[in-house]
């Protein structure tokens, strides 16, 4: 069995703690994602999916529970330690690509390296060029985002998420803003990187067509995991 990347135990998240309007949105979540997995997180709106993904991505802190990132307790780490762990271990793809409009596609892919190392390097450039070629954008790497279609922009976002060779990519509705054809292309790219590079993926999706093509489906409802099942790989 592959080594765990994330291990959540009895994770709870409460907003407005200590006030009259305190609201607990995650109620004791237990979840492990292992190296090489391709899993999706599904559930109705308001079930806590984005909150859970933000906690896994170290963008928020849990109110209670234990979070191990590659066997290391992370929930009490300092902000600087969490930032370093995020850059070293995790990649992110969102529904809206969040590309910087003043940067070319190539420069956008190089941004994680800039954040980690403080400067652009030739190695970062070579890696970004290779990744853009892998997502079919070798001929568009010097274009700004506004000259790319929505599907192309999301492909740039996938390349950016992979720039630092993360163990796990967190994808929050990565195809939610795309038409069916572009969504299938983006999903296929993530699947390809999972198979060829061994990168683990955990994606939130409302699209049942995509969910049924994942290896594992985790169901969240009212802040609680109510289902966690392996599926036969179908592409």
pLDDT of amino acid 210: 85
Res 37 pLDDT > 90: yes
Beta bridge partners of 24: 14
Q: How many domains are there within the chain?
A: 1
Is residue 169 a part of any domain in this protein?
yes
**81 assigned to some structural domain:** no
Q: Which helix (H) or strand (E) holds 196?
A: helix 180-197
Question: Per-residue pLDDT tens for 47-73?
Answer: 889 899 999 999 899 999 999 999 999
pTM (two decimals) = 0.89
Q: Which residues form the domain of 189? A: 38-61+90-230
Q: To 10 degrees, the CA torsion angle through 61, 67, 71, 77?
A: 30
Specify the CATH number for the domain of residue 54.
3.40.50.300
- The confidence score (pLDDT) of residue 112 equals 87
E strand intervals along the chain: 4-15, 23-34, 38-42, 64-69, 72-73, 90-94, 168-172, 200-204, 216-221, 224-230
CA distance 44 to 11: 19
Q: What is the mean pLDDT of residues 103-107?
A: 93
Residue 50 within a domain: yes
* Whole-number pLDDT of residue 97: 67
Query: Per the structure block, which two tokens stand in for 154?
Result: 């999301």
């Amino acid at each position: 069995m592959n080594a765990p990347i994330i291990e959540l135990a009895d994770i709870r998240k409460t907003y407005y703690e200590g006030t009259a309007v305190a609201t607990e949105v995650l109620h004791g979540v237990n979840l492990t994602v292992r190296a090489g997995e391709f899993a999706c997180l599904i559930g109705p709106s308001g079930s806590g999916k984005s909150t859970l993904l933000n906690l896994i991505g170290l963008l928020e802190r849990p109110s209670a529970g234990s979070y191990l990132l590659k066997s290391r307790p992370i929930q009490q780490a300092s902000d600087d330690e969490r930032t370093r762990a995020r850059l070293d271990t995790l990649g992110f793809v969102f529904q809206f690509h969040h590309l910087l409009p003043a940067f070319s596609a190539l420069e956008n892919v190089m941004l994680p390296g800039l954040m980690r190392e403080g400067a652009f390097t030739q190695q970062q450039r070579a890696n970004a060029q290779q990744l853009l070629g892998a997502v079919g954008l070798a001929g568009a790497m010097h274009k700004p985002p506004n000259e790319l279609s929505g599907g192309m922009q999301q492909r740039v976002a996938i390349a950016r998420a992979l720039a630092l060779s993360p163990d796990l990519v967190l994808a929050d509705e990565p195809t939610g803003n795309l038409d069916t054809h572009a969504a299938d292309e983006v999903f296929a790219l993530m699947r390809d990187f999972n198979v060829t590079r061994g990168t683990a993926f955990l994606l939130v999706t409302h699209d049942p067509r995509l969910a049924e093509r994942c290896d594992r489906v985790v169901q969240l409802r009212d802040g609680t995991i109510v289902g966690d099942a392996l599926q036969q790989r179908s592409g």
